């Protein structure tokens, strides 16, 4: 076994059907009394229902969370938190909502309780993001790590098939890159392989029956593991490309899903052990092709061309990715990266 460094992050996880009923006890545990409830505009009704379990302790609602945390909306949320003297944020939703909790925590230090309702995995990481003027800035800060995470699959039964599948593949992408991260370790690899196994088994069952509570629970388990894997290891070429394409306005989870099999194909021969473990977790002979087939079976878009990518931008994206690459098993070079992007643009089977 090679030398490694493992960092454990302090977070408390309350997992299982019906556990959102434990939110009042978790708020008490943090000794907070003035909660700011955060959601996206569409999830207000669910959040109101949850807020009823906290009589006298909800100081305000912010229901304007949006993808990639645009700075103007974040400032509005921060001002609201300050003006109502909030002492805790409860973020109920996907990566966008949790991202708002983190953005508030970044400048105020307020504790965040996350109640994830997608599979983004953001609730387990110290990674924050903000976007300004079309550019997304990210960083890592222990302050933004949610103190408590409540995973209750009952809250996810209305998550539409397209969002379920795409955010599930976003979580699988975290696990894939953790398996070949330059700073990976055996513990994270265990979690990554198990995360892929749980998600690859759950997502097809969810697409068949959106109300399958067992499948939803398995997917939340997988996304927890996925978030935990990227919380302490570095991401590589795949995430770099998705950050570049996200900056060009492409939707987050769908971009991850489309790029993943092609980024894996790029790294295929340079990361044989990771590929072996991924193939085993999805019961496929070849890892990149197996991931591609899984996505196709989930009905996901397979071509960057179908989610708003302009062909004329492929070269620019390849140049940005190659100029400031993240550490990656195979050397990141302009020509091969452009070919990867062209394959993703056309949706070619690896």
| Interacting residues with ligand NAD (CB under 6 A) | 40, 42-43, 67-68, 93-97, 99, 117-118, 120-122, 125, 127, 129, 155-156, 158-159, 163, 167, 170, 252-253
How far apart are alpha carbons 236 and 332 in whole angstroms? 10
Sequence-separated (6 or more) residues with CB below 8 Å from residue 216: 153, 156, 157, 202, 206
Taking the least distance from each CB to ligand NAD, the nearer of 121 and 350 is 121
How far apart are alpha carbons 164 and 207 in whole angstroms? 8
Find the shortest distance in angstroms from Cβ 166 to ligand NAD: 7
Taking the least distance from each CB to ligand NAD, the nearer of 137 and 296 is 137
Find the shortest distance in angstroms from Cβ 331 to ligand NAD: 26
Find the shortest distance in angstroms from Cβ 67 to ligand NAD: 5
Find the shortest distance in angstroms from Cβ 23 to ligand NAD: 16
Taking the least distance from each CB to ligand NAD, the nearer of 94 and 288 is 94
The owner of tokens 């992050």 is: 9
How far apart are alpha carbons 350 and 347 in whole angstroms? 9
Closest by CA position to 282, among listed 180, 203, 174? 203
Taking the least distance from each CB to ligand NAD, the nearer of 93 and 329 is 93
Find the shortest distance in angstroms from Cβ 336 to ligand NAD: 26
Contact indicator for 42, 221 with CB cutoff of 8 Å: no
Per DSSP, the residues of 139-151 read EE-GGGS-SEEEE
List 129's β-bridge partners, or say none: 138
Taking the least distance from each CB to ligand NAD, the nearer of 35 and 228 is 228
How far apart are alpha carbons 202 and 247 in whole angstroms? 30
Residue with the shortest CB distance to ligand NAD: 95
How far apart are alpha carbons 240 and 323 in whole angstroms? 11
Taking the least distance from each CB to ligand NAD, the nearer of 129 and 350 is 129
Three-state DSSP class for 13?
A: strand
Q: What is the DSSP letter of 284?
A: -
Taking the least distance from each CB to ligand NAD, the nearer of 105 and 294 is 105
Taking the least distance from each CB to ligand NAD, the nearer of 301 and 350 is 301
The owner of tokens 């098993």 is: 329
Find the shortest distance in angstroms from Cβ 156 to ligand NAD: 5
How far apart are alpha carbons 43 and 66 in whole angstroms? 12
Per DSSP, the residues of 100-129 read HHHHHHHHH---EEEEE-SS--GGG--EEE
Find the shortest distance in angstroms from Cβ 140 to ligand NAD: 9
How far apart are alpha carbons 345 and 192 in whole angstroms? 27
Find the shortest distance in angstroms from Cβ 31 to ligand NAD: 26
């Amino acid at each position: 076994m090679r030398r490694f460094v493992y960092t454990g992050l302090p977070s408390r996880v309350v997992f299982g059907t019906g556990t959102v009923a434990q939110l009042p006890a978790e708020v008490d545990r943090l000794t907070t009394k003035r909660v700011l409830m955060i959601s996206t505009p569409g999830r207000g009704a669910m959040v109101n229902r949850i807020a009823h379990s906290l009589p006298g302790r909800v100081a305000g609602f912010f229901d304007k969370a949006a993808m990639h945390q645009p700075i103007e909306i974040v400032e509005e949320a921060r001002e609201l938190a300050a003006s109502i003297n909030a002492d805790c944020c409860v973020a109920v939703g996907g990566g966008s909502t949790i991202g708002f909790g983190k953005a508030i925590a970044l400048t105020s230090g307020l504790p965040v309780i996350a109640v994830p309702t997608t599979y983004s995995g953001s609730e387990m990481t110290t990674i924050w993001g903000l976007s300004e003027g079309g550019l997304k800035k990210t960083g890592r800060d222990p302050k933004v790590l949610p103190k408590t995470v409540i995973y209750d699959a009952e809250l996810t039964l209305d998550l539409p098939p397209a969002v379920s599948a795409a955010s599930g593949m976003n979580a699988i992408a975290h696990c894939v890159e953790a398996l070949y991260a330059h700073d990976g370790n055996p513990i994270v690899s265990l979690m990554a392989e198990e995360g892929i196994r749980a998600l690859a088994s759950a997502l097809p069952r969810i697409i068949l029956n959106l109300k399958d509570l067992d499948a939803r629970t398995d997917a939340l388990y997988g996304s927890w593991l996925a978030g935990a894997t990227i919380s302490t290891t570095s991401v590589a070429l795949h995430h770099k490309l998705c950050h570049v394409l996200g900056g060009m306005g492409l939707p987050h989870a769908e971009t991850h899903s489309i790029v993943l099999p092609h980024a894996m194909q790029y790294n295929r021969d340079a990361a044989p052990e990771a590929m072996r473990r991924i193939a085993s977790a999805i019961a496929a002979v070849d890892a990149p092709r197996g991931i591609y087939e899984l996505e196709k079976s989930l009905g996901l878009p397979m071509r960057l061309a179908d989610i708003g990518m302009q062909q004329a931008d492929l070269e620019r994206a390849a140049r940005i990715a190659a100029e400031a690459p993240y550490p990656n098993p195979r050397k990141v070079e302009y020509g091969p990266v452009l070919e990867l992007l062209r394959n993703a643009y056309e949706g070619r089977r690896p």
